[in-house]
Amino acid sequence: MLSITGASKRFGGVHAVDAVSFEVPRGKIVALIGPNGAGKTTLFNLISGFLRCDSGSIVFESKAIEGLPPFRRASHGIARTFQHVQLLPQSSVLENVMVGLHLSGRAGVLSSVLRPRSQRDEERRIEEAAREALRRGGIEHLADETPDSLSYGMQRRIEVARAMAMNPKLLMMDEPAAGLNDGETEDLGRLIRGLRDTGITVLIVEHSMPLVMGISDHVVVLDYGRKIAEGTVDEVRANPKVIEAYLGVEEGQSDA
Partner 1 sequence: MSARSVLLERGIILLLPVMLGALVMNSAYFLTLLTFILINGAIAMGTCFCMGRAGQITLAQSGFVAIGAYVAMLLTLRFGMPAGIGVVSAVIVSGLVGFALSLPIMKLKGHYLGLVTLAFSLVVAEVATHWTSVTNGASGLYGIKMPSIPFLELNPRYEFLLMLTVYWFAVYVVADNLIRSRYGRAMQALKYSEWGAQSSGIDITRVKTEVFAISAAMMGGAGAFYAYFIQYIGPESFTLELSITVIAMCILGGMTDIRGALVGSALVSVMNEPLRAYPQVQPLVYALIIIVMIIFLPKGIVPSLVGTFANRRKRRRLAGAATDAT
Query: Which CB, 124 or 135, lies closer to partner 1?
Result: 124
Query: Which CB, 163 or 242, lies closer to partner 1?
Result: 163
| 129 phi, psi to nearest 5 deg | -65, -35
State the number of binding residues for partner 1 (CB under 8 A): 38
By the 10 Å C-beta count (0-12 exposed, 13-18 middle, 19+ buried), 3 is classed as middle
Binding mask 122-161 for partner 1 (x = CB under 8 A): xx--x-----------------------------------
- 3-class DSSP state of 214: helix
Of 53-92, binders to partner 1 (CB under 8 A) are: 69-71, 74-75, 79-80, 82, 86-91
Counting every residue, how long is the chain?
Answer: 256
Binding flag, residue 95, partner 1 (CB under 8 A): yes
Query: Which CB, 113 or 256, lies closer to partner 1?
Result: 113
Given candidates 19, 50, 132, 186, which one binds partner 1 under the rule CB under 8 A? 50
* Distance of alpha carbon 254 from alpha carbon 256, whole angstroms: 5
DSSP 130-198: HHHHHHHTT-GGGTTS-GGGS-HHHHHHHHHHHHHHT--SEEEEESTTTT--HHHHHHHHHHHHHHHHT
CA atoms within 13 A on the CB side of 203: 28
Binding flag, residue 231, partner 1 (CB under 8 A): no
Minimal distance, residue 96 CB to partner 1, in Å: 9
Binding site for partner 1 (CB under 8 A): 48-50, 69-71, 74-75, 79-80, 82, 86-91, 95, 98-100, 102-103, 105, 107-109, 112-115, 119, 122-123, 126, 162-163, 166
